[in-house]
Each structure stands twice: as structure tokens, then as C-alpha cells.
Amino acid sequence: MTTILTKSFPQDKQPLTKPAPGKKRVLIVGGGFAGIAAARALKRTDVEIRLIDRRNHHIFQPLLYQVATAVLAPSEIAAPIRQLEAKQKNLSVLLAEIRGINLATRIVEVACPGIGSRKLEYDFLVIATGMRPSYFGHDEFARFAPGLKSLNDAETIRAKILSAFELAESTDDEKERARQMTFVLVGAGPTGVELAASIAQLVSVTLRNNFRKIDPAKSRIVLLDGGTRILPTFAESLARKAANRLTKLGVEVSTGVKVEKVDDQGVIAAGNRIPAATVLWTAGVSASPVVKMLGTQTDRAGRAFVGAFMDIPEAPNVFVAGDAATMTQDGHPVPGVAQAAIQQGRFVGHVIANRVRGRNDGRPFRYRNKGNMAVVGKNFAILEAGYLRSSGFVTWWVWAALHVLALPQLQNRFRVQTQWFWSYLSGQRSSRLISEGPRSSSSQQ
């Protein structure tokens, strides 16, 4: 890990960071799609940018489910945020967590690992902290049903899935074996659908001949959703095709079903117990707690209501972008997808650049929907772009090409393309590793 600071200060005597004379200070909180887009948009602006994130890497989240199902390794969909620093001279990166925001004094307090707290002054502040799983008031579910928002989440899910088969192979109890080979996913949005389809192909193809006592293809995969259908953000005709595809893959799709309880034995949904060793949460999301520090109005998911220029009414030079923001366009909310976050981040960067140069803000933000896609296993994807609706093999190839091109680094593109080609031909997945936990002192192996 790169050393961020070379000197430690007593916690009660933290200095304020001083900019170069005459330069405006831009703090960007969050190294996701929106935060990085905002930083890049300011590349040729005479400002000092500090990008703050509690992780040292940017994740290409649309492919996170493939890490969770052992198709790809974590390094293949992630890139170091600090690599931006070498390419952009007016940008510095700080590994830290936000502890407080004071809009009146324009100071953000951060905590750096192993260093302590620091206070950073700003002239412009961009909050782009993304989302985290929401359990709709049942946070106790999180212990048994991990969400999928980070590389750590993906590795946790991968370990749960692969360990389930190892335990099923080890036990002689038929009921326990069946429980270990049952996978329940709560939430049938794009993440739930893609994850369920990937698990279905893992058990039917990749693991087919890997065990002696069990047949992974006999696993039970259940996709639950409280809505009337899967993929509510897609046209109903496309959602129906995706549901049919899931059924062909062996996934049990149940809609209009609400989960009442999640524990170490499985789930209770609509009054019925489903014994399952692996429960995955792909349902609701909520905004990062950092948004609440702004003291601005938020929606039920904790996202900040922003104006036409992505700023908040309490402080015109404070912007919220990406999944942390909510705004309405043509009577509909702007979707929380990667393309929207990139457009908002880039827009905020241009607004800040105009204000620094004494220009007008320009036109208000307007989201340009370039289409939504979801992949449902091998050789099948759906696409909706305006009046265009397509599905099937050709759409799947378009999905693959677009996702390879959108990866953050050239090396990511090469590795993912190579791995996908190998998996397509052989059905094998290269990242079937179960991370070891801490060993006890009595361990002899």
C-alpha cells in the first residue's frame, strides 16, 4: 500500500491543508464512476484536486457478479485509483474515511489509517460515494445474506458458494446436503438475474465432474422478488424473455414473494421455509452515510435531492453525483446505473471548471440514456435502448464487446477478453479459490 502521509500529527492539532497560492481546492469523495469522471473532467483546469476514498481501487461494478461466481479474478475488474495521479498532475489521492463535513466553514474531516484525523479545506466539494445494500430495516439479515457492492463482498460470496459444495461432498446427511446445495437470491433486478444465471452455469458446466458423492447440477437455485416481475426497469417483453431463459437454466423464479426472515438455516418467504446454506442479497440499496453529513434533504434510500446543476440548496458549491444523488427527468427518476454516474460526474467537473473560470454554468444536467443491458448466462442478453429492444446471441456479443471496452485499463481488457474466451470454449473458471481464514495456533497444516 502506498504511503499517503509521511508525518503524524497529534489528533487535536491537525493542520489544514494549504493549496498553492491562487488555486481553488476541489475535494472529491468517492473513487467510483462519478468521482473519477469528475476528476478527469477537471484535468485541464487550474485547480488542486484531492480524491478521497477508503479503498485504493476503482471497481468496474457491472462485472462484480463474475468475481462472485469465479469467472474473473478481483484484479481483472479493478484498477488502482492512485494510477490516475501519475496521469493527472493536478490530482492527488488520499486513502481515508470521511468523519464529518462542515458546510459553514468548508472543512471536511477525514481519518487516515494509522495516521489519525485530518481537516481538509475546500472551495468545491463533490460527494460521489455510491450505494450500499439496504435490508429494508432488517439489518440483522446482513449477517446471513451478504450483498454485492465491493470486491470483499464478491470474494465472500465466492467462498460461500464454493464452500457449500465442499460441505455437501463431506456430509452423509441427505437433508444437510440438500441445504448446502440450495442457493437463494433475494432481489430480481439485473444483479440478481445475472448472478443467478452465472451460478446456474457454474453448477451445470464448470463443476460437473469435480465431485464423487454429489452432482452439482442437481443444485437448487431460487430467485425471489417482492415485485410482480423480474427486471422492473426493463420492458415487460424483455423481462419475460429473461425469465424464460432463467427457467431453462434451472433457476426457480418466484415473484410477488416477500422475505420475512433470513437466518443461518435459510429464509422464510411468504410463510414458507426454504432451507439454504447460501442466501445472497441482491434487493434494495441505500446511500452512503456520508450523504447525511451534508444535512440536506434525502429520499427514502438516503440519496440527496439535487438541483439542475447537481448541487444542493444549502451550499451551491457542494455537488452530489452518481448513486448518492436523486433527481427527476421527464417525470422519471434518473436511473442508478454506471452510465448515469459517469455523465453526472463529468457534468459536475465541467460546472466547476466554468465557475473557476468565471463563466456561466451552462445548460442544466440532462441524462442521455444509451440503453440498458443485462446478460442471462452464456449466449443470451437483453438490450433496451429507446424503441430498440433485442435479445439473444447477437445481443450477448454486443454486451461482451461493450463491457470489455469499458474496463478501466488496457490490461484489464486483455485479461478479461482472454479469460472469457477460455471459459467460452472450455466451460472452466479460473478463480475458484476459497480464501483461508486466520489459522489457530493449534493448526498443524
DSSP letter for each residue of 61-92? GGGHHHHHTTSS-GGGSEEETTHHHHH-TTEE
Cα(74)–Cα(280) distance, integer angstroms: 19
Lookup: cell for 225 = 422478488
The angle formed by the CA atoms of residues 118, 108 and 287, to the nearest 5 degrees, is 120
Distances (CA, A) of 406 to 68, 339, 403, 419: 20, 10, 5, 16
DSSP letter for each residue of 1-45? -----S----TTSPPBPPPPTT-EEEEEE--SHHHHHHHHHTTTS
Distance linking the first and last C-alpha atoms of the chain: 29
Crossing angle for the helix pair 338-356 and 33-41, to the nearest 10 degrees: 30
Contact 185, 282 (CB under 8 A): yes
Residue with cell 478521497: 52
Task: Indicate the SS3 state at residue 326.
Answer: strand
Burial 144-168 (b: 16+ CB within 10 A, else e): bbbbbbbbebbbbbbbbbbebbeeb
Strand partners, 110: 98, 118
Contact 115, 15 (CB under 8 A): no
Q: How many CB atoms lie within 10 A of CB 64?
A: 23
Amino acid letter, 315:
A
Catalytic residue among 194, 260, 314, 436: 194
Q: How many CB atoms lie within 10 A of CB 405?
A: 9
In the annotation, is 194 catalytic? yes
Cα(319)–Cα(326) distance, integer angstroms: 12
Residue with cell 462542515: 102
> What residues act catalytically?
194
